[in-house]
Structure 1
Amino acid sequence: MDERLDPMPDTEPASTEPSDAPPPDTTDGAISADQARLVLRRVKDPELNLNIVDLGLIYEVHVSGANVQIDMSLTSPGCPSGPEIMGEAEQQLRTIPGIGDVTMNLVWSPPWTPERIEPRVRAYMGF
């Protein structure tokens, strides 16, 4: 008697999606603000070792099709890591498939304060 050890049939399951459907991140060439924020979480302030989104340094993410404009601040106008942080942020945004122009705007109004830090991170830091 020939018994199968694998109870699953040898046929592939039927798919409800067409095989030529594009991946979710390239459906219409548009970039979402959530995609931008997600990659910006990879950028850390080297002194605090926390990402710039949780630190509240990202003020606005403006998206127009494939183009992204970021309004961000730093913890202080004299932050020695400012150019490094902004350069890394731009570099990470450029890793998004289909990204167009990336514009980084350094803004000082309103000034950054610890209250801009994500509440869970602020609690972790003891604020």
Structure 2
Amino acid sequence: MDTDIKTLPPDDQSTVADTATANVAMANVGTAPASAIPAEELTRITDDIVAALKTVYDPEIPADIYELGLIYKIDIDDDRNVDIQMTLTAPGCPVAGEMPGWVENAVGTVEGVQIVRVELVFDPPWTPERMSEEAQVAVGWY
């Protein structure tokens, strides 16, 4: 069973699940079978994945990729394999070939995580509205 965790756009910071990170929500709660991973461990892994993602920075923008809104989806399956869908600020980003590896390496250090797969997606396209207030402050827009 996949546990589907999605990043919400900054204008919808509500959460569906009880996690320590306000802009992460579990999708399909109540409609999907329960995860085989105990809830406390799933919460810890989720929080640790978010913390790991916050160590990866776009080299051209002084903010981490999570706060920039570049992470679209995080799936954690019952075997603790993690699938991440992410985007870039622009399809022609000079680090397009490297950033997925940076994300894979960062998330791969999380205790309990097995395999990490990162997929670049460009639909929907990234816009500055996806940035958190923290990222907007970091780039001087807030």
Establish whether residue 71 from structure 1 lines up as the match of residue 88 from structure 2.
no
CA RMSD of aligned residues (A): 2.1
AA matched with 1:116: R
Structure 1 runs not aligned, ≥5 long: 1-26
Q: What percent identity do the matched residue pairs reach?
A: 37
> Which secondary structure state, in structure 2, belongs to the residue aligned with residue 60 of structure 1?
strand
Structure 2 runs not aligned, ≥5 long: 1-39
Deviation at 1:29, TM superposition (A): 8.7
> Which secondary structure state, in structure 2, belongs to the residue aligned with residue 49 of structure 1?
coil
> Which secondary structure state, in structure 1, belongs to the residue aligned with residue 98 of structure 2?
helix
Deviation at 1:35, TM superposition (A): 2.0
Cα distance in 2 for residues equivalent to 1:40 and 1:60: 12
Partner in structure 2 of residue 38 of structure 1: 51
Matches within 5 A, 1:60-99: 60-65=73-78, 66-99=80-113
> Which 4+ stretches in 1 moved above 6 angstroms?
27-31
Deviation at 1:100, TM superposition (A): 1.0
Deviation at 1:59, TM superposition (A): 0.6
Deviation at 1:84, TM superposition (A): 2.1
Q: Greater Rg, structure 1 or structure 2?
A: 1
Find the partner of 1:107 among 92, 107, 121. 121
> Which secondary structure state, in structure 2, belongs to the residue aligned with residue 109 of structure 1?
coil
Compared CA separation, residues 29 and 56, structure 1 to 2 (3 A): closer
AA matched with 2:98: E
Compared CA separation, residues 121 and 31, structure 1 to 2 (3 A): closer
Establish whether residue 126 from structure 1 lines up as the match of residue 141 from structure 2.
yes
TM-score by length of 1: 0.70
TM-score by length of 2: 0.64
CA contact (8 A) 1:57 1:74 kept: yes
